[in-house]
Amino acid sequence: MTAAALLNDLKSRKLKPVYLFHGEEPYYIDLFGNYIENNLLSEGEKGFNQTVLYGRDTDIITVLNSAKRFPMMSDYQLVMVKEAQDLKWGKDGDDDKKSPDPLLTYLEKPVPSTILVFCYKHAKFDKRKKTYKAIEKSGLVFESATIYESKVPAWIEDFVREKAYRIQPRAASIIAEYLGNDLSKISNELEKLMLNIQKGHEISVEDVQNNIGISKEYNVFELQDALAKRDTLKANRIIDYFAANPKANPIQMVLGALQNWFTKILKYHYVGDKTPSNLAKELGVNPYFVKDYELAGKNYNAWKVMDIISKLREYDLKTKGVDSTGNVSDGELLKELVFKIIY
């Protein structure tokens, strides 16, 4: 089930007796957990019918004793276990008939008026365990997987669209480049940004720069643009700015962005069908950016790009102290690298 479909089911009150939200990306675990906690019961019902426990402070017997109660003056009661990765889950299928696993016994016939929710964050629940299979059978399991960085711009576009906004492709890509694939952090920044923008407005690069604190002229995208054009003067101005503002522009982030960019340029050279639509599909980019890769492809042949990728790896190691000569600053390393890229 997709995240959107699950959220629609929750809003429509198509409920399951047991939920397990797990995975390395906490965004959707928090989204679903918070929605259920805030919306399943009315404020008047919560006092008697809502129990929130934390994995490290409870045990499975306490959880099940709460789950086996019946609601008071309500159709449902909610038992939610937050930070469930810290919960001691019990035997998980011990076949000793004298002492069966209490959770598995409950899952065979869960109380229909109880909504039992496990929020298991920062890790995947072991799918081989009988507990996992039992929850899957009697309830619903949703894995909140880490999103690939290449898919983050599209995720941002979908997120703002659901809020009745639009966003320019370049603006979405700038946010993705600077905030990475931490969806919670991205959503928080977008929520703050949208507070300052009229509903229905298309979020521009300038909006992002003004509200998220990204320099208009000195950012990784402008550096890529300068390198694509082999504009040495502009590239060096940007590198000087990065050197003067290392916290906002850490060298590891810059090198990672350039590595991804040049890898796509190399892929560009080996794509047979170079129509814009096919290039966008093969490179995994918005069609808006295809012209940038065409320009870079003209200025850097495949052999040069392979050499650049090798240089990027070499300088990444130098930032970590491998094969580094003397106490060279990150700014000086970037200047050396840009010179070797362009020439």
pLDDT tens-digit readout, 176-195: 888 888 999 999 999 999 99
User: Which tens digits make up the pLDDT trace of 234-281?
Assistant: 999 999 999 888 888 889 889 998 999 999 999 999 999 999 999 988
pLDDT band at 214 (very low <50, low <70, confident <90, very high): confident
- Mean pLDDT, all residues of the chain: 91
Provide the 3-class DSSP secondary structure of residue 22: strand
For residues 327 and 229, state if they share a domain. yes
pTM over 0.85: no
pLDDT at 219 over 90: no
> Above pLDDT 90, what percent of the chain?
73
CATH value at residue 284: 1.20.272.10
Distance (Å, rounded) from C-alpha 89 to C-alpha 103? 8
Total structural domains within the chain: 3
Q: How far apart are the first and last CA of the chain?
A: 50
> Residue 98: what pLDDT?
60
Distance (Å, rounded) from C-alpha 115 to C-alpha 13? 11
For residues 29 and 131, state if they share a domain. yes
Alpha helices, H only, 139-250: 152-162, 169-179, 183-195, 205-212, 220-228, 232-244
User: Which tens digits make up the pLDDT trace of 282-333?
Assistant: 998 888 889 999 999 999 999 999 999 999 999 999 888 776 666 778 889 9
Contact yes or no for 320/291 (Cβ under 8 A): no
For residues 235 and 321, state if they share a domain. yes
- Identify the domain boundary among 143, 168, 198: 143
Residue 71 — left, alpha, or beta (φ > 0 → left; ψ -120 to 50 → alpha)?
A: beta
- Identify the domain boundary among 160, 178, 212: 212
For residues 287 and 329, state if they share a domain. yes
- Phi and psi at residue 80, to the nearest 5°: -115, 130
For residues 23 and 117, state if they share a domain. yes
User: Which tens digits make up the pLDDT trace of 127-171?
Assistant: 999 999 999 999 999 999 999 888 899 999 999 999 999 999 989
For residues 181 and 91, state if they share a domain. no
> Residue 95: what pLDDT?
47
- Identify the domain boundary among 212, 236, 266: 212
User: Which tens digits make up the pLDDT trace of 65-113?
Assistant: 999 999 999 999 999 999 999 998 876 655 455 678 899 999 999 999 9
Give the domain range for residue 21. Answer: 3-143
CATH value at residue 160: 1.10.8.60
User: Which tens digits make up the pLDDT trace of 31-52?
Assistant: 999 999 999 999 999 999 999 9
DSSP state of 216: S
Distance (Å, rounded) from C-alpha 195 to C-alpha 74? 36
Contact yes or no for 155/117 (Cβ under 8 A): no
